[in-house]
Amino acid sequence: MSDMARVAAHMPTVLKYSSVTRFEDFSSVHTWTVMGLKTLFEGTASIESAPLTHQNSSKWCIVLTKKANELHLCFLLKKSEDNKILRAKLKADEILPTGAIREVFPCKWYHLEEGEKSETHFIKKVDAVGHDYSENEIVLRCEICMQCIIQDELPVPCTSEPQDGIVKAMDEMFHKEVLADFELHTGDTVLKAHRALLSVRSPCFAAMLQPHTKEAKEGSTEVTDVAPEVLKQVLLYMYTGVAPALKDMPLELLMAAEKYQLHQLKRQCETHIASCLNVDNAAATAATASVFSCDLLWDRAIVFIRHNLCEVMRTRGWAETVAVHPEAIQRISELMG
């Protein structure tokens, strides 16, 4: 069975459903008119609005309180589902007789339990009892906004058959050389491929296969710095997105991925090499990461060396890296200081 056929045979099971979590703001706006303020100021300390029901079934009310000759306002959470703490954004405005809007309760987020009140805000001063008080009512517009978590489960059409068919088609294109129009010569091996696919997958090949280049005119290129088995894995990756032998030659594939600007393959190699870190190879791994600008691999190697510095420095791998890559050792030493 070919490498591509093995890839097709071991494709992961396609999910039948996909879940989506999103946050949405749900607001309810209520207008409360309080009439007969003169009577209120003759003795009543505070009054509550009628219950205000929010979309999430919580119940609120607005509390208007008289303190001396001042009016104050707060929100009261009268009921929450299952006594949960609710996160709510509260605000209130006074609608003046002229139609103008005056903010009296600044917009702010609160975390409230059932039966708990928000902080209280001053609205305005009022005339003392006995004085002529022409403003005998107040109109308040109050907004209660809550951010709710919405969970959606969406059916996803099964795509295993189309994917399987695509992989099989790519297998035929590569191994049966169906309409192949470009050759890669490496050692005694000739690998045939398709210019369009190479150009789309690799910026390096895209530049190489411009109409005016020697390679484009001759329909071939000589590869002297990538071994045949490594180059075959690179091509398999470009055709299928998978390099089946990555675990057997991660360093060689990393260098080839760097050459051909295959960033995802390079990251796969970095991840695998990082998973195999030990005291013997940590210094060499850090040096490789430095030479090939592998940020993920460099960070993992540095963390490992920092936690095992004494053991790493006693290994042959450290001594060999000092001799071959002194600039990398200098970088490591500066970070360890």
CA dist 116 and 119 (Å) reads 10
Contacts of 157-161 with CB under 8 Å at 24 or more apart are: 158/14, 158/16, 159/14, 160/11, 160/13, 160/14
The DSSP H or E segment spanning 25 is: strand 17-35
- Residue 2: the pLDDT is 55
pLDDT at 104 over 70: yes
Query: Are 105 and 121 within 8 A, CB to CB?
Result: yes
What residue ranges of the chain are covered by domains with CATH 2.60.210.10? 20-152
The string of pLDDT tens digits covering residues 17-28 is: 566 676 777 888
**H helix intervals, 139-224:** 160-175, 195-201, 203-208, 214-218
Classify domain 156-266 at the CATH class level. alpha beta
Q: Does domain 277-337 have CATH number 3.90.550.10?
A: no
Lowest mean pLDDT among 7-11, 32-36, 54-58, 124-128: 7-11
pLDDT in tens, 146-186: 876 666 555 554 544 556 677 777 777 877 777 888 999 99
Mind giving me the DSSP string for 162-178?
HHHHHHHHHHHHHHS-T
Residues of the chain with CATH 1.25.40.420: 277-337
DSSP 57-92: S-EEEEEEEEETTEEEEEEEEEE-GGG--EEEEEEE
* Number of Cα atoms under 13 Å in the Cβ half of residue 103: 6
9 pLDDT more than 60? no
**Is the model's pTM score more than 0.95?**
no
CA distance 193 to 239: 9
CATH topology (fold) of 20-152: 2.60.210
**Residue limits of CATH 3.30.710.10 in the chain:** 156-266
In contact, 271 and 294? CB cutoff 8 Å: no
